[in-house]
């Protein structure tokens, strides 16, 4: 399934997410509060106020200051506005509009006045289906405690994502981490570019995303090592 992404927000975090998605040839519906900014992005291909050096393929962008239009035309919503403004941003959004959507939060902090996490806020204010809320908490623990890295659910709800023409499996339910670290994207690209015809040893490989990039860059040989049999099986599926 080709998911339609909707980005809610126009700050630096939202702009960075739009850049990543469009760089991977993903069409994006983008809610921007101020219509003059939309016109400037259409004309100059960058956000004039945030990350102005990041240029977009505007043919992949559908921008609007009508948040209900963006929500209606999207399957997955990425909320990327400051937590202090999320209630104001969603004020005119009917609860029914969100019912069949999946929501990813790029919001830090609590919703003010109510002191709620975003998932709690959506449940309280919009009766948002609990099964469509993905919440992960990384707790501070001693080096001896391993519970947060162990399996937390057994839904096995995997879905495919594409990055630079390569496919990976992501799981939002069963583990603390999803299977693919977004912040390693640039380094993975460097591996594909620099490791052609080399023998590659990927230690602490997790789900093997670096191995995938090395193989796609014509590495002579790729060896993938991890302590977890679960993650190695995950890597085998991605590499197959």
Hey, what domains does the chain have and what are their CATH numbers?
5-132 (3.40.50.720), 149-239 (3.40.50.150)
Q: Which two tokens stand for residue 71?
A: 């929500």
Q: Which two tokens stand for residue 52?
A: 């102005």
Terminal C-alpha separation, the chain: 20
Q: Three-state DSSP class for 192?
A: helix
pLDDT at 223 over 80: yes
Q: Which residue has the higher pLDDT, 114 or 37?
A: 37
pLDDT at 57 over 90: yes
> Which of these ranges, 47-51, 144-148, 154-158, 189-193, has the smallest mean pLDDT?
144-148
pLDDT at 21 over 80: yes
At 146 the pLDDT is 52
Tell me the per-residue pLDDT of 77-128, one tens digit each, with 9 for 90 and over.
999 999 889 999 999 999 888 888 888 888 888 888 888 888 888 888 888 8
At 212 the pLDDT is 96
pTM: 0.71
> Which of these ranges, 70-79, 175-184, 200-209, has the smallest mean pLDDT?
175-184
Q: Which two tokens stand for residue 118?
A: 């975003």
Spatial CA neighbour of 170 closest among 19, 178, 162: 178
pLDDT at 148 over 50: no
> Which of these ranges, 56-60, 62-66, 170-174, has the smallest mean pLDDT?
170-174
- Strand 76-79 vs strand 5-8: parallel, antiparallel, or unpaired? parallel
Q: In percent, how much of the chain has pLDDT > 70?
A: 89
Backbone φ, ψ for residue 102 (5° rounding): -105, 140
Query: To the nearest whole number, what is the mean pLDDT of the chain?
Result: 87
């Amino acid at each position: 399934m080709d998911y339609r992404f909707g980005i809610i927000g126009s700050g630096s975090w939202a702009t960075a997410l739009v850049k990543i998605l469009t760089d991977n040839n993903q069409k994006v519906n983008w809610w921007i509060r101020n219509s003059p900014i939309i016109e400037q992005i259409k004309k100059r291909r960058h956000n004039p106020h945030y990350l102005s050096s990041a240029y977009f393929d505007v043919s992949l962008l559908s921008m609007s200051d009508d948040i209900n239009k963006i929500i209606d035309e999207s399957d997955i919503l990425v909320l990327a506005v400051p937590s202090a403004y999320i209630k104001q941003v969603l004020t005119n959004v009917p609860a029914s509009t969100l019912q069949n959507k999946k929501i990813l939060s790029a919001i830090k902090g609590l919703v003010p006045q109510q002191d709620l996490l975003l998932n709690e806020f959506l449940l309280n204010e919009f009766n948002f289906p609990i099964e469509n809320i993905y919440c992960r908490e990384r707790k501070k623990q001693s080096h001896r405690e391993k519970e947060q890295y162990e399996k937390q659910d057994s839904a096995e709800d995997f879905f495919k994502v594409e990055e630079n023409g390569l496919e990976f499996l992501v799981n939002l339910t069963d583990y603390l981490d999803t299977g693919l670290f977004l912040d390693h994207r640039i380094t993975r690209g460097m591996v594909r570019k620099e490791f052609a015809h080399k023998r590659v040893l990927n230690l602490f490989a997790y789900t093997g995303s670096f191995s995938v990039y090395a193989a796609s860059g014509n590495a002579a040989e790729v060896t993938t090592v991890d302590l977890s049999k679960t993650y190695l099986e995950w890597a085998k599926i991605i590499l197959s």
